[in-house]
Copies of this chain bind each other. A is one copy, B any other.
Amino acid sequence: MNKTTEWPENKELASMPYALQAAAVWLEVVQGAQLFRIGQPPRTMFYVLSGEMRLTRMSLDGAEMILQRTRCGFLAEASIEASAYHCDAVAFEPGTVLGFPIAIFRKALEVDVTFRKAWTSHLVQEIRRARARSERLTLKSAAKRVLHYLESEGQNGVLKLEQSRKAWSAELGLSHEALYRTLARLEQEGVISVEENTIRFAGKMINSASVR
């Protein structure tokens, strides 16, 4: 493990047994770098610390189909039990990634009960988040999506944004312009309050017009 950087504090990583942490490799990836390709046997479990990594697959008609976008967190959990990747992983934005040798990772899951429980807990959590995101994206209006996000990702109506609004807009399935305008309108109407990277529900009941 490269010691030029200290071990990150993410709780998913904290539960790892020392042997696994020690086996981690720090990777600085440039834009367009390929972490793995379809068909390869997984040798590494990747954890994104910064930048944007994408799982993609070439569709039958030649277009690129995105399966996952990650700016923070494990990249392809399913690779833990696959014998070959079903998609490509590329760095859409440069960033840094942790790599865990997958054999050691698997062994740790077998041997270490605590880590196994933490891993299962992480999986269950990701299912929850991804499903909530899906339901959010079926909402037709920008305002509804913002409020859904505020309530499902925030703590008691208060949200600490860990990313730029532009990145957030992509997560919300909106253009960045639409997000800026929606935030401005919701704040102006007293539905939310915005300061820096903290957004909070302002207690005001939504009038039907705000969330049309």
Residues of A within 8 A of B (CB-CB), count:
45
Do the beta carbons of B211 and A128 come within 8 Å of each other? no
Which chain B positions have C-beta within 8 A of A63? Answer: 147, 206, 211
Name A57's closest neighbour in chain B (CB-CB): B151
- In the bound assembly, the distance between CA atoms of A68 and B130 in angstroms comes to 10
| Interface residue? A1 (CB, 8 A) | no
Residues of A that sit less than 8 Å from B by CB: 57, 59-63, 65-69, 77-78, 80-81, 120-121, 123-128, 130-135, 137-138, 147-148, 151-152, 157, 170, 173, 191, 201, 203-206, 211
18 A-B residue pairs with CB within 8 Å:
A59-B151, A60-B151, A60-B201, A60-B203, A61-B191, A61-B206, A62-B205, A62-B206, A63-B147, A63-B206, A65-B148, A66-B135, A67-B152, A78-B127, A78-B128, A81-B120, A81-B121, A123-B123
